């Protein structure tokens, strides 16, 4: 099911997201719907607040779709500047410096813990979506 995407300045985009206590069927459905919504919008990432859910979940679609629940970035190495847009801020793009390589820990859609290393665009995408869970948006990087 395609979900509505919240646009700036919707206040939900500024909320700090709470941890997901249990990965139940509702969360699995939410993850599936978020992936569908991201793909239909031609995005490469979508975070909970962007669909009005103030919970620590985001999905990415850089390679194949991936779900991150209660994510933690445990390592950041180097730096890389990429032009980024956001489905909640249509038409805006900013050059943003982020870590080039990261290590992430999270739960998948089945509630199982996983760890991965990402680089370049995938790393930027994860850091962008991770920002959403803290209420941080790309406009906050503008000097």
Residue 129 falls in the annotated catalytic set:
yes
CB of 109 to Zn ion, least distance (A): 20
What mask, x for binding Zn ion by CB under 5 A, covers residues 20 to 59?
----------------------------------------
Q: 45 in helix, strand or coil?
A: strand
**Residue in 17, 30, 86, 133 binding Zn ion, rule: CB under 5 A:** 86
Beta strand spans in 27-121 (E): 45-47, 57-60, 66-77, 80-84, 94-98, 101-107, 113-119
| Strand pairing class (101-107; 113-119) | antiparallel
Closer residue to Zn ion (CB): 22 or 83:
83
Catalytic residue positions? Answer: 129
């Amino acid at each position: 099911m395609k979900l509505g995407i919240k646009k700036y300045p919707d206040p939900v985009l500024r909320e700090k997201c709470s941890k997901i206590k249990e990965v139940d069927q509702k969360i699995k459905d939410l993850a599936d719907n978020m992936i569908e919504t991201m793909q239909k919008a031609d995005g490469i990432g979508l975070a909970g607040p962007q669909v009005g859910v103030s919970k620590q979940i985001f999905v990415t679609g850089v390679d194949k779709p991936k779900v991150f629940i209660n994510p933690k970035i445990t390592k950041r190495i180097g730096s890389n500047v990429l032009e980024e847009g956001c489905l909640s801020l249509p038409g805006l793009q900013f050059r943003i410096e982020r870590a080039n390589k990261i290590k992430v820990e999270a739960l998948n859609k089945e509630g199982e813990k996983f760890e991965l290393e990402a680089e370049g665009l995938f790393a930027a995408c994860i850091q962008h979506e991770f920002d959403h869970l803290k209420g941080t948006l790309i406009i906050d990087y503008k000097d």
